[in-house]
């Protein structure tokens, strides 16, 4: 029986899978469209296909996001979602390969949350599961002996001072892409009296938000008016939103992240602090696509800030490298592993 080794990143918004010896084989939104079959919900579509269905008529189906901020909130649907994705990437045949996986999870996961991830993976058909905190996978990605890693994703941000002996100190907070979206919605309501939809705000953030203060662009959007003298509540209304509006909306949140980074730096032992001073801070996650955000962090922290080469897939790629460096992972986790 052949064996397939996978590195899986269970992120806030995306599931990313890297196959040993092959490369990146899947990166899809962690959402599904499910309909009821007798007494059980079953997935109809998942990932990008589900995202496309969401813009049309769902009929009696439901949109399900079984992973919230890196935590499994629906075990059955998470298992089905993983199984659905595995069927896409694994070879088809009479004899199914034996699947082993290193699964990168949120560093703040509790024992019960870790157990839920493991149960979902096994139910999806993975025979051997090794759970690894995401900052450890990022350290593996950089091949560094230590550093400060900041992963600003969709639902959460992880900040961790890490060495090849494990996580020294860190924190996980709900300040990330979703919080940026909510801040933009609230800012536009307060300033213009218009509520924008979630898809509109996500597109606006991706295409227009910038941390360059000289960005004077304006963007046309449409939303629903809040009750006022010139427009009844809920009526359609168009407006122009400036890049500076978007920056004002989210800047305070990023400043909060900077304070947390400085707090972690203060708690970091001297030897690791010296390593961070030499190499700076490594940043990753989907929110690093925002133009100028890395430069903004660097100016505020007065330390070099390096965006990892593959900010979206670094966790999955770093996790896969543990297959070829099992001794390092054993030291980090404090257990003896059999990954080869």
Task: Tell me the CATH number at 271.
Answer: 3.30.420.40
Give domain status of residue 96, yes or no: no
Residues 216 and 169 in one domain: no
Q: How many CB atoms lie within 10 A of CB 146?
A: 22
- Structural domain ending residue among the three candidates 194, 216, 242: 242
Q: How far, in Å, CA of 160 to CA of 163, rounded?
A: 10
Partnered with residue 329 across adjacent β-strands are: none
Please indicate, yes or no, whether residues 203 and 254 belong to a single structural domain of this protein.
no
Indicate if 217 and 266 belong to the same structural domain.
no
DSSP 324: G
The residues, any chain, with a CB within 8 Å of residue 13's CB and separated by 6 or more, are 29, 30, 153, 154, 155, 177, 286
Q: Is residue 48 part of a domain?
A: yes
- Is residue 51 domain-shared with residue 150, that is, in the same domain? no
For residue 101, being part of any structural domain is answered with: no
Q: Which of 112, 119, 102, 154 minimizes the C-alpha distance to 318?
A: 102
The reply to whether 10 falls in a domain is no
Which of residues 207, 242, 277 is at a domain's end? 242
The reply to whether 229 and 206 lie within a common domain is: yes
CATH number, residue 235: 3.90.640.10
Residues for the chain: how many in total?
A: 340
User: Do 295 and 200 lie in a common domain?
Assistant: no
Same domain, yes or no, for 159 and 290?
yes
DSSP string across 68-92:
ETTEES-HHHHHHHHHHHHHHHSPP
> Helix crossing, 314-321 with 134-142: angle to 10°?
80
pTM for this one? Answer: 0.91
- CB 114, CB 105: distance < 8 Å: yes
Domain of 160 in residue numbering reads as: 144-176+250-309
Mark whether 287 and 165 lie in a shared domain. yes
Cα dist from 151 to 251, 266, 268, whole Å = 17, 19, 18
CA 98 distance to own-chain centroid: 27
Same domain, 57 and 199: no
Does 45 share its domain with 158? no
Looking at the domain assignment, is residue 322 inside a domain?
no
How far out from the chain centre does Cα 215 lie?
A: 27
Residue 196 DSSP code: P
187 and 271 inside one domain: no
Q: How far apart are CA 34 and CA 175, in angstroms?
A: 29
Of 242, 260, 285, the position where a domain reaches its end is 242
What are the residue ranges of helices labelled H in 161-313?
177-192, 198-208, 243-267, 270-279, 293-301
Within a domain: 93: no
Residue 148: alpha-carbon gap to chain centroid: 18
Residue 223 falls inside a structural domain: yes
Number of structural domains found in the chain: 3
Residues near 64 by Cβ (< 8 Å), separated by ≥ 6? 31, 32, 33, 34, 41, 74, 77
pLDDT digit string, tens, across residues 107-162:
999 999 999 999 999 999 999 999 999 999 999 999 888 999 999 999 999 999 99
Give the residue among 146, 141, 161 at the shortest CA–CA distance from 310: 141
CB 76 within 8 A of CB 58: no
Identify whether 262 is part of a domain. Answer: yes
The pLDDT, as a whole number, for residue 58 is 62
157 with 142: CB under 8 angstroms? no
Q: For each of the chain's 340 residues, which pLDDT tens digit applies?
A: 689 999 999 988 899 999 999 999 999 999 999 888 877 888 888 999 888 876 555 666 788 899 988 899 999 999 999 999 999 998 877 778 899 999 999 999 999 999 999 999 999 999 999 999 999 999 999 988 899 999 999 999 999 999 988 999 999 999 999 999 999 999 999 999 999 998 899 999 999 999 998 888 888 998 988 755 555 566 888 899 999 999 999 999 999 999 999 999 999 999 999 989 988 999 999 999 999 999 999 999 999 999 999 999 999 999 999 999 888 888 788 766 665 4
Query: What pLDDT, on the 0 to 100 scale, is given for residue 56?
Result: 57
Asked if residue 154 and residue 298 are part of one domain, the reply reads: yes
């Amino acid at each position: 029986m052949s064996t397939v080794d996978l590195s899986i990143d269970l992120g806030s918004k995306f599931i990313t899978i890297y196959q040993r010896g092959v490369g990146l084989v899947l990166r899809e939104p962690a959402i599904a469209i499910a309909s009821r079959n007798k007494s059980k919900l079953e997935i109809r579509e998942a990932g990008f296909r589900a995202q496309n269905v969401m813009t049309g008529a769902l009929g009696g189906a439901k949109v399900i996001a079984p992973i919230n901020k890196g935590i499994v909130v629906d075990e059955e649907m998470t298992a089905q979602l993983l199984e659905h994705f595995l069927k896409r990437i694994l070879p088809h045949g009479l004899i199914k390969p034996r699947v082993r996986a290193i699964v990168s999870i949120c560093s703040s996961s509790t024992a019960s949350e870790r157990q839920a991830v493991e149960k979902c993976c096994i139910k999806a058909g993975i025979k051997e599961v090794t759970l690894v905190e995401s900052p450890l996978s990022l350290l593996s990605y950089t091949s560094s002996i230590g550093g400060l890693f900041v992963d600003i994703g969709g639902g959460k941000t992880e900040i961790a001072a890490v060495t090849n002996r494990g996580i020294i100190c860190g924190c996980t907070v709900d300040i990330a892409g979703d919080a940026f979206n909510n801040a933009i919605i609230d800012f536009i309501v307060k300033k213009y009296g218009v509520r924008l939809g979630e898809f509109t705000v996500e597109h606006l953030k991706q295409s227009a938000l910038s941390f360059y203060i000289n960005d004077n662009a304006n963007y046309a959007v449409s939303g629903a008016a809040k009750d006022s003298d010139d427009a009844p509540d809920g009526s359609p209304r168009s407006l122009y939103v400036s890049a500076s509006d978007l920056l004002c909306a989210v800047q305070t949140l990023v400043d909060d992240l900077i304070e947390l980074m400085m707090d972690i730096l203060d708690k970091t032992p001297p030897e690791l602090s010296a390593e961070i001073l030499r190499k700076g801070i490594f940043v990753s996650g989907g929110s690093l696509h925002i133009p100028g955000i890395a430069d903004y962090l660097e100016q505020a922290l007065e330390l070099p800030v390096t965006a990892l080469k593959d900010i979206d897939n670094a966790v999955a790629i770093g996790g896969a490298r543990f297959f070829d460096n099992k001794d390092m992972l054993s030291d980090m986790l404090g257990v003896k592993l059999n990954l080869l």
